[in-house]
Amino acid sequence: MSFRVLNRRSVTGLLAATLLTSVSTGAVFAQEYTKESPLKVALVVHGNLGDKSFFDSAAAGLKKAEEDLPVDVTVIEAGYDRGRWQPAIEDATDQGFDVVIAGTWEMNGFMQELSPEYPDTKFILFDDAPDFTGGAFPNILAINYRVSTAAYLAGYAAAKISTTGKLGEILGVEGVTVVEFALGFEQGAKAANPDVQVTRAVAGSFDDPAKGKELALAQFAQGVDVVFPIAGGTGIGALQAARDEGKLAVGVDSDQATIFAPTDPAQAEVIFTSVEKKVGESLYTAIEQTLDGTAPYGTNLILGLADGAVGIAKNEYYKKLVPADVQAEVDAEEAKINSGEIVVDTGMK
């Protein structure tokens, strides 16, 4: 088996290009899939790897699946030219993969068009869902994340450690799954400090670090001392601004402090926590269940804090930058969310 990362131009004719070889473990799987005859999986990224958050998380989960399971994974990077996205997922489906995976509302429509035409192909859509009413799309599994429940905790901690009482958010776009982070963050911040001020800016893009830096610097100039970029690659610029200005930041999707630590320790030092949307882990589980026949295709799974699908990073930076008494308060808030005592706002249905 092999884990391959291809850009859009290299899809046709280069599917044999091997970047990493892995060996299946001795676990028991559905009889028809073995390391000699694996489940063939394609992840179509409507962007590029290297965002250190959303796309990288998805790819990491599938890489682990290939290492552990009888799976052969190809990652297709379609780039940020929207005109390339539909051809990329169409090409992947035409290539005969057993499972085709893509994420967000921007790929949802393309997957809905392909699903009825390829009834023997299984599709996994993460971070959005089609309308399954009346048994529609029986070969699509949708996975969504109640990240507001985790973002609440980050907002609570941010408000407690802020010295100015001013927090900032930078959104890539105002889509439902992005605003979901902001809703929880703002509610948690207000719970910790009713007088807190939260400034929200929208970049209009997920691949413009310069714009993210510009917006963060503008917020810092207004007194913000903790910024939460929810903006993919654009957010990298906001994190850099926090590093350069000596402010604090909340990472998104993955444990970004740990990711930055080996190459940019100064960047890691200002990310006191991250709101983790555990895309990779959920895709790993979906592939595992596809292999054993238990994956609930034809449904929309909405996973939250209690499911372990989202959370905040409580790493060495969190323990150093967040006082012990605030950590205890955050833990208490988390327990109340899991018990239902605290109901976190959501835009998801």
Q: Widest CA span of the chain, in angstroms?
A: 61
Q: Which H or E run includes 321?
A: helix 316-321
Where residue 308 falls among pLDDT bands split at 50, 70, 90? confident
Say if residue 2's pLDDT is above 70.
no
16 or 148, greater pLDDT: 148
Q: Could you give the CA distance from residue 171 to residue 212 in angstroms, rounded to a whole number?
A: 9
Q: Could you give the CA distance from residue 330 to residue 160 in angstroms, rounded to a whole number?
A: 10
State both tokens at 6: 């291809």
For residue 348, the model assigns a pLDDT of 81
By CB atoms closer than 10 A (0-12, 13-18, 19+), residue 192 is buried
Q: Could you give the CA distance from residue 60 to residue 147 in angstroms, rounded to a whole number?
A: 19
Where residue 30 falls among pLDDT bands split at 50, 70, 90? very low
Where residue 228 falls among pLDDT bands split at 50, 70, 90? very high
Tell me the whole-structure pTM to 2 decimals.
0.79
pLDDT digits (tens, 9 = 90+) for 81-95: 999 999 999 999 999
